[in-house]
Amino acid sequence: MTQPPTSISPESPVFSVPSHALVPVNGYLSAQVDIPQSRMFIIKKLLATFRERHPELPAYDASQGDGGASLPGVPHNLLERAFALLKQNGTAYDPPIGTLAFRKATAEQYWQFKAEIGYGAENIAATDGGRDALIKVYQAMLTLGTGRIGDVLLVSRVPWISYLWGPYGIGMNVLLAPGAEADGWEYTEDGLAESVAYCAKYGGGRRVAGLVITSPDNPTGRTLSMERQIALAQKAFALGIPFVLFDWMYHQITEGAPADINALLGAFAPEERARIIVLDGLTKSLGASNIRAAHVVAAKPVIEFIASRSSHGVMPNFFGQAVAQAAYEIGFRQAAASIIEPINASRAIVRAFMKEKGYRAVIGDGGYYAFIDCTEAIRRGNLADSIALVEYMAENFGLTVIAGSYFSEAGKNWIRFSYAMPPEITAKALERFDEAMRSL
C-alpha cells in the first residue's frame, strides 16, 4: 500500500486513524452464508391455519416463554416503581454501561459480592437485553482474547440458535463441540480438548476465543451443577481458551437456589477470574421480554471495552435498569415469584407426564424447556424431520413448539417444549402434544 503524505493539509482527505491501525480489507462478508431470521418471531404464524379451521377450539403456544404472553409478565407494582425512578432520573443521556445506582444495586443487592472477591459496581455493565450483551461479549473475546477477526466461539452440539448467528454476523466463526445425545449433549473435558485440537488442525490457523456455558440450557433444558460448570471452565483455561462466558439468563427459575456467583469467582485465581464473563437479566426470570434489560459481570478491562463500544453503538435503556432496581428493592426472588412458582409447578407436571407416557426427554431442575425425542413419531409419520412435525402439529392440533432442527443437525428428531405457562395450561398443552404424537 502506498503510504499517504506525512504532512497533512486540511484541504486533503485523511484517514481517521494512523495507517498501521486501518482495518485490513477482507472479503469474508461477500462469502458469508445468509443469516436466517430467528424463527422465534415467525413461529406463531403456524397456528393461523388451525385457528381458521377450528375457531371453537383452544390453541396452545409452547414455543416460547414470552413475558406478557405465555408468562404473566412483570408485576404492575414493579413497573410503577420503575416509572417513578424514570421520572426521578430524567431523560438525559446516562452512562453507556448503565447508571451508577443500577450497577451498585446489582453488585450489592442482587449478587451480594463478598469482599474477598474484590468485585463491585465497576464490574457491572448494563446492556439493552441479552442479545446486545452477547454481541459486545463476542467482540471483547476477539479483541481482548485473540486480537483477530475470524477466530472461534465454542458452543454445545445443540446450541441456542442465536449462539450460531450472532457471532457469525460480526466475523466470529462457531464450532459445535462433541456431545452424546444420551447425556443431553453435555460438554465433557475430553470434548473440549478435542474441539481445540480440531480447530488447530482444520481451522486454517484459527483459535478458540471463547467458550459458552449455559445453565439451565436453551434449548435442551439441561442443568449443570456449579461444580461441573467450574470444572469445565478450568479445563477451558488449561486448554488456552481466553474467555468463558456463563450465560445464566434462566438460573433464577429453579427448584433450588439460583447460581452463586461468589462460589464461581472464588474458585479461580485473580488472573483466571479476569477471563470469566457472566450474563444475566430480566427477560426470563421476571417475564420482561420487551423490557430489554440485561447486564454483564466481568473484569474491569472487559467492562471498559463494553463501555467504549456502547458509547458509539447501543446504549442500555434506563427503564430496564429501573425495573431491575425495583425488583432488587423488595428482593428478587419475591419480585419474580409470579414467574418462578408457576413454572416450577409446570416442570413437575411435564416431568411426570413424560415418565407416565414413556417419552424420552431432557428436563433439568431449572429453566422452562423440555427437549423431547420424537424420532419414533417422525418415522411413523414418514416425516422428514422435526420441522415437518412442528408444522403438522401446529396446523392440525393447534400446538406450536420449536423444532430441534432449527438448532443443529444433532437435534433434528427432537422438539423444544416450553412449559413457561400456568400449570393448568401446561397440562392441556401436553395432552394436545400426546394426541398429535399418537395420531402418527
Tell me, what CATH number does 396's domain have? 3.90.1150.10
In a shared domain, residues 311 and 410: no
What span, in angstroms and rounded, lies between the C-alpha atoms of 367 and 354?
17
Last residue of a domain, one of 316, 332, 348: 332
- Say whether both 87 and 60 belong to one domain: no
Q: Which residue range forms the structural domain that includes residue 109?
A: 76-332
Same domain, 285 and 304: yes
Cell numbers standing for residue 278? 457472566
pLDDT of amino acid 42: 66
269/171 same-domain check: yes
What's the confidence (pLDDT) of residue 47?
82
Backbone angles phi, psi at 279, to 5 degrees: -115, 135
pLDDT score at 1? 65
H/E run at residue 357: helix 337-357
Residue 69 lies inside a defined structural domain of this protein: no
**Residue 211 CA to chain centroid, in angstroms?**
13
Residue 143 CA, chain-centre distance (Å), reads 21
How would you classify residue 385: left for phi > 0, otherwise alpha for psi between -120 and 50, otherwise beta?
Answer: beta
Residues 6+ apart with CB under 8 A from 440: 377, 378, 380, 381, 383, 392
Domain-located, residue 389: yes
Same domain, 82 and 145: yes
Q: Which of 303, 332, 361 is the last residue of a domain?
A: 332
What single string gives the DSSP state of each residue in 129-150? SHHHHHHHHHHHIIIIII--TT
pLDDT at residue 7, as a whole number: 67
CA torsion, ordered 74, 76, 77, 82, to nearest 10 deg: 70
Residues 6+ positions from 181 with CB-CB distance below 8 Å: 410
Q: Is residue 346 part of a domain?
A: yes
For helices 423-439 and 337-357, angle between their N-to-C axes, nearest 10 degrees: 30
Residue whose C-alpha cell reads 423444544 in the numeric block: 416
Cβ atoms of residues 159 and 202 within 8 Å = no
Give the predicted TM-score (pTM) of the model: 0.95
- Domain-embedded: residue 355: yes
* Residue 163, domain CATH: 3.40.640.10
Closest CA to 417 of 432, 223, 409, 48: 432
209/84 same-domain check: yes
What's the angle, vertex CA 335, arms to CA 333 and CA 336, rounded to 5? Answer: 65
Per the structure, the count of domains in the chain is: 2
Of 332, 363, 378, at which residue does a domain stop?
332
Three-class SS state of 213: strand
pLDDT tens string for the chain (440 positions)?
677 776 677 878 888 888 889 889 999 999 999 998 877 656 777 788 888 899 999 999 999 887 777 778 899 999 999 999 999 999 999 999 999 999 999 999 999 999 999 999 999 999 999 999 999 999 999 999 999 999 999 999 999 999 999 999 999 999 999 999 999 999 999 999 999 999 999 999 999 999 999 999 999 999 999 999 999 999 999 999 999 999 999 999 998 999 999 999 999 999 999 999 999 999 999 999 999 999 999 999 999 999 999 999 999 999 999 999 999 999 999 999 999 999 999 999 999 999 999 999 999 999 999 999 999 999 999 999 999 999 999 999 999 999 999 999 999 999 999 999 999 999 999 999 999 999 99
- 231 with 282, same domain? yes
Three-state SS string across 221-249, please? CCCCCHHHHHHHHHHHHHCCCCEEEEECC
Question: Three cell numbers at 266?
Answer: 472464588
Kindly state whether residues 204 and 347 are assigned to the same domain: no
Q: Is the domain of 352 the same as that of 401?
A: yes
Q: Which residues pair with 45 in a beta bridge?
A: none
CA distances from 399 to 144, 164, 232, 354 (A): 45, 26, 37, 17
